[in-house]
Structure 1
Amino acid sequence: MKKVSLLGLLFLSLAACKNTTNEPEKTEEVTTEVTAESAHEAKEVTLDNGKLWVANPETTEGIKNMQKIISERKQEATGAVLKEALENEFQMIFEKCTMTGEAHNQLHNYLLPLKMKLNQLDGTNDEAVISEIDAHLKEYSNYFQ
């Protein structure tokens, strides 16, 4: 049941990301359906014809903040405390997202696995998952500038 709730939260987070295209506004039901479909099909992040995608500054700042949270964490900090701090930054990325088009799609391809890793922090496997999160955050600069 917990996984279902977390998956629902992911759907809402992805749907909340501001996509500022000039397309007519779609109903929330369609947006949620497309988001649910994409959550089941995590796609690999690709480059823009061999070049880095241009990310909005707030996204890059949020990723850097998450890296800082991990690098400055105290060893005695619980997974729950770390998870809350990382998820707050993650949510800010979505709230401040202004990316559009394929760059926006590629950002979602990058963020979906990150969210899944955040969901795995449960107090029993924290060090292994934190290491995976840290490695994933370091990959951001391989795809975005």
Structure 2
Amino acid sequence: MRREILLGLLFLSLAACRKNANEPEKTEETTTTEAAAESVHEAKEVTLDNGQLWTANPETTEGIKNMQKIISERQQETTGSDLKAALENEFQMIFEKCTMKGEAHNQLHNYLLPLKMKLNQLDGTNDEEVISEIDTYLKEYSNYFQ
């Protein structure tokens, strides 16, 4: 149940990322439909742009680098919940500053959904293992985006 709620919130935030200030206000039904479409889309793996890296907006790349820095500079006494809060703050900033469009934007979401799921796994019981997975995953960003 908790996972479904978190995924629902993630999908709504993903849909909000795409919102254009010039678009008319969407109804709840439209938002729900878009969220459902996003959930189908999000299950895909990240692919390259005909063998080339996608161009990401600078704020996205900065957010990923900031997350890497948070992990690399963390102190051993830093709790999983403190680390999770800092990482989720950067993650949210990526969405708030999102300016990407088209397929590059879709591929960014394909990359970010598994990252969000890893962040959700930080629960105080398996933090070192999950932190290692997140660190490795963040390093894969440059395999898909420039």
Question: Is 1:9–2:5 an aligned residue pair?
Answer: no
Please tell me the residue identity of whatever aligns with 1:39: S
The Cα of 1:38 is off from its aligned counterpart by 3.6
The Cα of 1:76 is off from its aligned counterpart by 1.0
The count of corresponding residues between Structure 1 and Structure 2 is 145
Q: In the alignment, which residue of structure 1 is the partner of 2:88?
A: 87
Query: Once superposed, which parts of structure 1, at least 4 consecutive aligned residues long, lie more than 2 Å away?
Result: 1-5, 22-41
Question: Is 1:18–2:18 an aligned residue pair?
Answer: yes
Q: For residues 26-77 of structure 1, give each alpha carbon's deviation from its aligned partner in whole angstroms, at most 9, with x where no partner exists.
A: 6453344333444365211000001000000000000000000000011111
TM-score (norm 1): 0.89
Q: Do the aligned residues in 2 keep the contact of 1:19 with 1:100 (CA within 8 Å)?
A: no
Partner of 1:113: helix, strand, or coil? helix
Partner of 2:54: helix, strand, or coil? coil
CA 1:122–1:140: 2 relative to 1, 3 Å = same
CA 1:25–1:52: 2 relative to 1, 3 Å = farther
Counterpart CA distance in 1 for 2:30 and 2:45 is 23
Between 8-17 and 69-78, report the one with greater CA deviation.
Answer: 8-17
Q: Do the aligned residues in 1 keep the contact of 2:54 with 2:104 (CA within 8 Å)?
A: yes
Q: Do the aligned residues in 2 keep the contact of 1:18 with 1:95 (CA within 8 Å)?
A: no
Q: Do the aligned residues in 2 keep the contact of 1:69 with 1:86 (CA within 8 Å)?
A: yes
**Ranges in structure 1 where 5+ consecutive residues have no aligned partner:** none
Counterpart CA distance in 1 for 2:137 and 2:36 is 22
Q: In the alignment, which residue of structure 1 is the partner of 2:74?
A: 73
Q: Percent identity?
A: 82
CA 1:45–1:79: 2 relative to 1, 3 Å = same
**Ranges in structure 2 where 5+ consecutive residues have no aligned partner:** none
Q: In the alignment, which residue of structure 1 is the partner of 2:43?
A: 42
The Cα of 1:16 is off from its aligned counterpart by 1.8
Tell which has more relative contact order, 1 or 2 (C-alpha 8 A, sep 6+): 1
Root mean square deviation, CA, Å: 2.2
